[in-house]
């Protein structure tokens, strides 16, 4: 078990560019969550998947954001036309879909929009 | 949105001292989790408390859930530099288990 991995770890992009992040969950975990964390704050929920189905999206997830989990394994989070306000740490977590099961977090992707 | 307020926001103390940080809400929780996050890493779960008045110990860390299940505290005895990090409380949402995090306490232990 290698844990949750995220790629890239850091991304610097210019305003207006598109970026895509990848998350590989723990292999047997059927739930996958995305969170965003800005400096000095706790993480905020963005969206989650159970298998390949995206079951909930936060109001934080504007129409410039899209997430997929096509085969119920890895997931991607794409941000189109990035804005400076998108600068944050994007965290992925996975768990089993059972009540009370722990979420395991990846190391995050730190996005800086210049 | 249910807010979880943590205090203090920042805490810097000498190695060997004791400290307590708090997590408060106006609403009742079914359960509460505490996480520690180190720079450049994701949060790591320390403990889950479920029952009002519950006390759990993890080595030098003592977690308490308030009797009314609206607040929680984390007490660290004889703090060590390895305790440095961002301490977050979080409420799991019933059903989908998504987490609502508090504002965090950034703890620095000075050797």
Look at strands B105-110 and B10-14 and give their pairing.
parallel
Do A102 and B45 make contact, defined as CB atoms within 8 angstroms?
Answer: yes
In angstroms, rounded to a whole number, what is the distance separating the alpha carbons of residues A61 and B11?
32
The reply to whether A95 touches chain B by the CB within 8 Å rule is: yes
Q: Which residues of chain B have pLDDT under 50?
A: none
Contact of B100 with B88, CB cutoff 8 Å: no
Q: What is the pLDDT of residue A102?
A: 86
Could you say which of B42, B45, B104 has the minimum Cβ distance to residue A91?
B42
Q: Cβ contacts of residue B33 below 8 Å, gap of 6+?
A: B45, B46, B47, B48, B49, B89, B90, B91, B92, B99
> Higher confidence at residue A64 or residue B2?
A64
Structural tokens at position A10: 């850091």
Q: What is the pLDDT of residue B71?
A: 94
In angstroms, rounded to a whole number, what is the distance separating the alpha carbons of residues A27 and B9?
36
Average pLDDT rounded to a whole number, residues A66-79: 95
A99 pLDDT above the threshold of 80: no
Strand partners, A59: none
By C-alpha distance, the chain B residue nearest A33 is B98
- Set of chain A residues whose Cβ sits within 8 Å of the Cβ of B106: 40
- Give the model confidence (pLDDT) of A14-50 as tens digits: 999 999 999 999 998 999 999 999 988 899 999 999 9
Calculate what percentage of chain A has a pLDDT beyond 90: 83
A12 pLDDT above the threshold of 60: yes
């Amino acid at each position: 078990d290698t844990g949750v991995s995220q790629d890239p770890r850091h991304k610097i992009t210019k305003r207006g560019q598109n970026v895509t992040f990848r998350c590989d969950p723990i292999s047997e975990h059927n739930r996958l969550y995305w969170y965003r964390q800005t400096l000095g704050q706790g993480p905020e929920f963005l969206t989650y998947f159970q298998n390949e189905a995206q079951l909930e999206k936060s109001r934080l997830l504007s129409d410039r954001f899209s997430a997929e989990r096509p085969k119920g394994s890895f997931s991607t989070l794409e941000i189109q036309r990035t804005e400076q306000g998108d600068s944050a740490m994007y965290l992925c977590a996975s768990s089993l879909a059972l009540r009370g099961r722990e979420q395991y977090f990846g190391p995050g992707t730190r996005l800086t929009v210049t | 949105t249910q807010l979880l307020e943590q205090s203090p926001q920042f805490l810097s103390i000498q190695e060997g001292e004791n400290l307590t940080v708090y997590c408060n809400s106006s609403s009742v929780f079914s359960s509460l989790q505490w996480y520690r996050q180190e720079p450049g890493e994701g949060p790591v779960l320390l403990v889950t408390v479920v029952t009002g008045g519950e006390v759990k110990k993890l080595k030098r860390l003592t977690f308490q859930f308030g009797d009314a299940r609206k607040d929680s505290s984390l007490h660290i005895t004889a703090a060590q530099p390895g305790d440095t990090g961002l301490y977050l409380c979080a409420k799991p949402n019933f059903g989908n288990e998504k987490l609502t995090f508090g504002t965090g306490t950034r703890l620095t232990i000075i050797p």
